[in-house]
A and B are shown apart, each in its own frame.
Chain A
Amino acid sequence: MTNLFNYIDRPSPIHRLTGACKLVCLITWSLAAMTSFYTPLLCVLTVAALILFRVARLRLKDISFMVGIMLVYILMNNVLIFLFSPTHGTTLYGTQTVLFRIAGPYVVTAEQLFYHFNVILKNACTIPIVLLFVCTTNPSEFAASLNRIGVSYRVSYAVALALRYIPDIQREFRDISLAQQARGTEMSKKASLVSRLKAASSILIPLILSSMERIETISNAMELRGFGKGKKRTWYSGRRFSKLDLLAMAVCVGLMLLSLALTYFNGGRYYNPFV
């Protein structure tokens, strides 16, 4: 069963960082990458992300499934950009260096290719960091981290509970689906789309009903043990920030500021090699 949080326990400095620190780093890093099209910065971030990946002792095969999905996403993203606005790069950079023509409005320009290169770089420097966060953060620490950065503990715990119940609900979904198939509900590709949608509803109703039961029990269990009584709560898996945490956060916040500063001083988000 593929889990959303694919925590892989290995001894590494990245694993030792607290969840809250990693969350702050993830957010600032992504902001830095998102706001900027400054190519040198993106290159640096990408290389740094790949190095961090090595530091965390993650192997490609641990995450091959997720990497696959991400690559498909990047490909789709670029194809769609080209299909819908093949001259976006020209507009951005203000010049047009035609490499070759395909047909109609579809012209391949150096500007457009450079723009695509930037888009890919942006993905390439963010995605490893997201995967890094997902694979090195103990799910137990996640709710505590959210709460640490200011999210209300009720919301944080809701997220933790979702993580706790995803495997249960997956199992239940499978059981219900099998029992429905036994009664002749066709779920395979043999059936038409409409009848497959109908079939899906025959699984969803029991799944929702039994989940409601579950929710009632769990909310009772939580209240009976005092959940929601105070404005604050502590966390068993909460940890204090170490020096390394503070350092990591400082670097990431610095990167974000650098990215913002570059945007500001260069008079725009785009690094333009064409003029």
Chain B
Amino acid sequence: MEKETIISFENFGFQYTAQAEPTLYDINLQIHKGEKILIAGPSGCGKSTLAHCINGLVPNSYPGKTTGALTIGGKNALELGLFGLSKIVGTVLQDSDSQFIGLTVAEDIAFALENDCVPTGEMHQQVERIAELVDVKQVLGHAPHEISGGQKQRVGLGGVMVSDVDVLLFDEPLANLDPATGKQAIVLIDEIQKRTGCAVIIIEHRLEDVLYRPVDRVVLMGDGRIVYDGSPDDLLCQNLLQERGIREPLYVTALKYAGVALTPEMRPSFLPELKLSEDQKAQVFAWFARQPAVKPTPNPEVLLRAEDIDFTYEGGHHALRGINAVIHKGEMLSIVGTNGAGKSTFSKVICGFEKPQSGILELNGQDLGALSIKERADHIGYVMQNPNQMISKTQIYDEVALGLRNRGVPEEEIRPRVEQTLKICGLYPFRNWPVSALSYGQKKRVTIASILVLKPEMILLDEPTAGQDLKHYTEIMDFLSELNRQGVTVVLITHDMHLMLEYTPRAIVFHAGKVIADMSAAQVLNSPEIVEAAHLKETSLYHLAGLCGISDPEEFTRRFIARDREVRV
């Protein structure tokens, strides 16, 4: 059956006005009605630009020169313009928080209708209907800060569905969600597609998470071109993903390490339907047995001890309920949990941004209670998630020197310390550059450098890899591991299960203001109750281990990670 084409790129190319080189070359892509497509690719591959071409932001908000043809809904996309396209393509942006326009959920869903001059009475009915469809009816009167991240995304989806669009475009829908909520988002997208028959386009580099529900096609991009366009099963049998810097599903990588020859018939893109023969299972088992056991790391001395920390915000929100935790010297540790579980509050308490009502906090046996924010910062450095929130100087050198200058360190002592720090962070060649010339990842390094220069014993990073593709993720994390080897204690607050598994031997799990687990990362992810409570996601390795009759999935996970790091370094 030939399906109707809704989006068609023909020899399409695009160059931003401000850039010397085109961002997209020779794009030939057909998207049919009711199809579900994943567009993947590393940062800078052009996938966001491609999405902007489909929703009209390119060239209407980001001007540039197009070549070739782009037809959407049978019409030339350039002639349709941004508003014409908004009737056909509904876009759900990456950051569901900042795309929340209305003061309440209902108003946000109604926004497009308001712009279409729909009468108020009719608008209320339509909002009701959509709210039911995306299941936010109970919170219609709520403000954005009163609802959860998952609900915000539902509202975002409702806000574009209200225009009866034919195409739903999701720009990195998983970027700001915790693992469990991300999983629900994928399920929601799947259900909505089945119910409405819309074509769905998902732009994402987190392939495994998207494949939690089947997709019809994967389009892989690299350097502004389409390098693959076909079934996900075929794609996973090749090595294209790794070559392009996209992480394969972990179970696929594990199967490849074990030497299992993948074929599309095995259905490698959809874990619940993955078919392995007895021989292949035995192959995986044998590989597991061959891998050396991972030695547990000995427990070193205690650096930070938190005892019975209790904290309630001014408004009455009881954020921390009797927290007991220990951070060891030289350790690399993850703090995980849902939004609002208390992990950010806990880090604020450690840095002295918030004062707990009761409890003891000790660093090297010394009580921290009496120390000011600034004094604590000499021992504990805090790196915010968004580097733009930290950088206050225009020159890299000045930015890194800021903390030392504030502490009255003489200038002749500052120079060698700043230069040495810049060297450690790989920023020395850029020392005389303005900050604005750096990429996001480099800015992140500048903020880490500006903290490291104060020589803290411990650094605390909030979501260090949020929104980064595999290459930048690996860069940042390897850099942090290197720092850790040099003796700095590194604490990461994260949503990223793989980061926790791969880089941090131990994890502390927060839930509803309490610590519900303090164990190895592999152990956490192999405990269904903890995974469930803390909105985490079990790894697919757990499932694979079960499938192959391996009784210790934790150890399987550990050995896989150890092997994977060897391969990737």
Q: Using a CB–CB distance below 8 Å, which chain A residues touch chain B?
A: 139-140, 160-161, 163-164, 167-168, 172, 175-176, 178-186, 201-203, 205-207, 209-210, 213-214, 217-230, 232-239
Contact = CB atoms under 8 A, between A and B. Distances in A.
A139 B144 CA distance: 14
B98 A179 contact: no
Interface in B361-403: 373-374, 376-377, 381-382, 384, 386, 388-393, 402-403
B159 interface: yes
B406 A183 contact: yes
A183 B403 contact: yes
B91 A224 contact: yes
Interface range on chain B: under 10, 10 to 19, 20 to 34, or 35 or more? 35 or more
B388 A209 contact: yes
Contacts of B451: 183
Contact of A227 (B111, B386, B390, B392): B111
A164 B105 CA distance: 12
B86 A205 contact: no
Contacts of B392: 180, 201-203, 205-206
B112 interface: yes
Contacts of B530: none
A225 B112 contact: yes
A63 to B, nearest CB: 18
Given A186-B374, A226-B112, A233-B117, A161 B91 contact: no
Closest 5 CB pairs of A and B: A184-B406, A221-B99, A236-B110, A202-B392, A182-B377
Given A203-B392, A221-B93, A235-B120, 18 more contacts: A140-B103, A180-B392, A183-B451, A184-B403, A185-B406, A201-B392, A202-B393, A205-B392, A221-B98, A222-B111, A223-B57, A223-B82, A223-B83, A224-B55, A224-B57, A224-B93, A225-B112, A226-B87
Contacts of B376: 182
B115 A230 contact: yes
B119 A234 contact: yes
A176 B520 CA distance: 33
Nearest to A214: B98
A139 B103 contact: yes
A225 B377 contact: no
A168 B152 CA distance: 15
17 contacts: A175-B384, A179-B382, A182-B377, A184-B406, A184-B407, A202-B393, A205-B391, A205-B392, A217-B99, A220-B99, A222-B101, A223-B57, A223-B86, A225-B86, A228-B115, A235-B120, A236-B113
Contacts of B103: 139-140, 160, 163-164
Contact of A182 (B102, B382, B388): B382
Contacts of B123: 234, 236
A184 B378 CA distance: 9
Contacts of B57: 220, 223-224
Contacts of A168: 145
B406 A182 contact: no
Contact of A233 (B83, B115, B160, B407): B115
Interface of B: 55-57, 60-61, 82-83, 86-87, 91, 93, 95, 98-104, 106-107, 110-120, 123-124, 127, 144-145, 159-160, 163, 348, 351-353, 373-374, 376-377, 381-382, 384, 386, 388-393, 402-403, 406-407, 450-451, 454
Contacts of A203: 392
Contacts of A176: 384, 389-390
A218 B61 CA distance: 12
Most chain B Cβ neighbours within 10 Å, of A181, A225, A238: A225
A184 B376 CA distance: 10
A238 B120 contact: yes
A164 B120 CA distance: 21
A233 B451 CA distance: 49
A10 B489 CA distance: 52
B101 A236 contact: no
B447 to A, nearest CB: 9
